[in-house]
Structure 1
Amino acid sequence: MLSELTDWLSQKGMVVRIEESARPILQRKELSCPSGELASKSEIIIAMGGDGTLLKAARLVGQKLTPILGVNLGSLGFLTETVEEEIYTVLEDVVKDSYEVDRRMVLEAKLGDVGHEFHALNDFVIIMGESGRIVEIALHVSDEYVCAFPADGVIVSTPTGSTAYSLAAGGPIVHPTMDCIVVTPICAHSLGLRPMIIPSSETIETEVRSRAEDARLVVDGQESLRLKSGLRVQIRMADYHINLIKPKKKSFFEILRTKLRLGGREEDRAAGTEG
């Protein structure tokens, strides 16, 4: 499909560049582009695969604001809204500059006083590593102490990430164009602890209080960092958004019905396939 798509785009007068890791698939060396240069040299980026591919593309784009079109070639593909059969219809709109874009909030995390920054379109997750033991986490919101709790971990997600790991852990579904922060404990050993939605103007601060040295911070499911006991992680809304190209006439609620089976009834799923 990649070869066919490349030819179609070229016929439409568009210059095509292929991320260097995909070069063996297409075998056209002249189109290869280093990952770090792809966003700055592109007007749009097409991420073909599953949600993990789109998250990788978001990391490459960063603050450059290059719109991303996610094409689902996998199974669920909640973020990659465009299916293979729709790709040329959507790209026709792109060529005509008549496409729609969703602005998606991004989270920024800083570790301690060192100042290293990490960004996530979906979520930051604090969990224990290979030991599988529970971790004690202290939670602050903008310098105000909230609580401390033992759990398997905690998820701090964007609205976009609310339908990912957070949802599986019992978190709420949040419309992806909103700006807020979702805090979802993972199997907390406390009956009174529930997921929380925090204004995007606030800063979430977590501190691992467990003595074990195998606590991890996982960034969008793609990068894992070791957290020492007592290290504080500050998470806030980043100063940029990721722009996702969306198919026309496909709403967030239709995607919930068809991909997450919202409602669970046959008529709910059928409603998502009607014109």
Structure 2
Amino acid sequence: MGSESGHTHTIGLVAHPRNPVAGSVTLIREFAATRGATLIAPEADAARLGADVHPVTAAEFAERATAVVSLGGDGTMLGAMRLVVGRPTPVFGVNHGNLGFLVEVSPAELPVALDRLTRGDFLLEPHSCLMVDGAAAFNDAVVTGTRQWATVNVDLAVHGVQYGYYRCDAVVACTPTGSTAYNYAAGGPVLSPSVPALALTAVAPMTGIDRTVVFGVDDAVTLTNRSGETARVLLDGVHTRDLLPGAGLGVRLHQDAVNLVRFDAATHARRNRVKLSLLDLPMRPDQLLELVPEEIREQAQRLRSR
């Protein structure tokens, strides 16, 4: 991320809409200044990040950013990832949110992380997404009713061939990453990130398909609204469009859609396993310790050794 190769790098910032991120922005600003890098951000974020952060459109952001830093939790990280789908741009997250399954770096760890980025001391972890009529979803795409308690009737076709239908509260299409979210809550399977697959799970099915169906990377899935009224389409939890009666929604898996920066893949995986095990309380003392930030654990160790 330095300028040793003779060209100027551009760091794209994506910030949580409410949580304070000024401390991390200051560190990144100082880092960029020492290396002649330019800072850009989507127009909605730039104004509150400082005058030296240049506002750009989503298309300009994707074209210009040579690295992306997400300042927030998983929702912010997913938004950052969607901006650079299909590009080799490295993306890393600084946790200004809650659990942060996708986010590896705490604000206290940011100076060391920036130094390691400069030295190239990191790994790139590819993530797949769903392409839903040209839009990306890294966790899931959901078809649901517009009215409370309304069911949806959805036909399923694969490569244009009709395979069945759903009558349920919602239909969830998920990636392996998103399989532990809404899909899991609906009784769907947990998919290994190493499996290039998408899963379809019905939420509270009444008739039709009532088991999860798993598709491969080459399968072109179409979900057609047969409800007689408009349905909603949510991508990664955000209502992005309506699905009119009779309209179809194309869904397929896009492998290696984005690259996440990992400084310690083993530690990140261990933390995620511990966070997921909150679903299985009570926890052992050694598991609880994994939730304590490393700097606090080290401080406690020094106090005990005195």
Q: Which residue is equivalent to 1:114?
A: none
**SS of structure 1 residue aligned to 2:223:** strand
4+ residue stretches of structure 1 with deviation over 6 A?
none
Cα RMSD of the aligned pairs, angstroms, is 2.6
The alignment's TM-score, normalised by the length of structure 1, stands at 0.85
- Tell me if structure 1 keeps the 8 A contact 2:274–2:287: yes
With over 3 angstroms needed to count, the CA separation of the structure-2 counterparts of 1:97 and 1:168, relative to structure 1, is same
Q: Which residue is equivalent to 1:89?
A: 112
Whether 2:45 is the aligned partner of 1:15: answer no
Measure, in 2, the Cα distance between the counterparts of 1:27 and 1:271: 37
Q: Which residue is equivalent to 1:153?
A: 170
Measure, in 1, the Cα distance between the counterparts of 2:96 and 2:279: 22
Q: Which residue is equivalent to 1:226?
A: 242
Whether 2:293 is the aligned partner of 1:269: answer no
**SS of structure 1 residue aligned to 2:191:** coil
TM superposition shift of 1:41: 2.1
With over 3 angstroms needed to count, the CA separation of the structure-2 counterparts of 1:100 and 1:168, relative to structure 1, is same
**Count of matched residue pairs:** 267
Measure, in 1, the Cα distance between the counterparts of 2:34 and 2:209: 58
**SS of structure 2 residue aligned to 1:185:** strand
For structure 2, list consecutive stretches of 5 or more residues without a partner in the other structure.
1-22, 295-306
Of 138-147 and 98-107, more deviation after overlay is shown by 138-147
Q: Which has the larger radius of gyration?
A: 2
With over 3 angstroms needed to count, the CA separation of the structure-2 counterparts of 1:58 and 1:146, relative to structure 1, is same
- 1:207 counterpart letter in structure 2: T
With over 3 angstroms needed to count, the CA separation of the structure-2 counterparts of 1:223 and 1:9, relative to structure 1, is farther
TM superposition shift of 1:271: 7.1
Measure, in 1, the Cα distance between the counterparts of 2:103 and 2:96: 9
Q: Which residue is equivalent to 1:216?
A: 232
Identical pairs, percent: 25
**SS of structure 2 residue aligned to 1:21:** helix
With over 3 angstroms needed to count, the CA separation of the structure-2 counterparts of 1:106 and 1:15, relative to structure 1, is same
The alignment's TM-score, normalised by the length of structure 2, stands at 0.77
- 1:244 counterpart letter in structure 2: L
- 2:106 counterpart letter in structure 1: V
TM superposition shift of 1:273: 5.7
With over 3 angstroms needed to count, the CA separation of the structure-2 counterparts of 1:74 and 1:86, relative to structure 1, is same
Whether 2:257 is the aligned partner of 1:257: answer no
1:47-196 maps to which residues of 2 (within 5 A)? 47-110=70-133, 117-190=134-207, 193-196=210-213
TM superposition shift of 1:195: 2.0
- Tell me if structure 2 keeps the 8 A contact 1:136–1:149: yes
TM superposition shift of 1:209: 1.2
With over 3 angstroms needed to count, the CA separation of the structure-2 counterparts of 1:239 and 1:252, relative to structure 1, is closer
Measure, in 1, the Cα distance between the counterparts of 2:243 and 2:29: 47
Q: Which residue is equivalent to 1:198?
A: 215
Larger relative contact order, structure 1 or 2 (CA cutoff 8 Å, min sep 6): 1
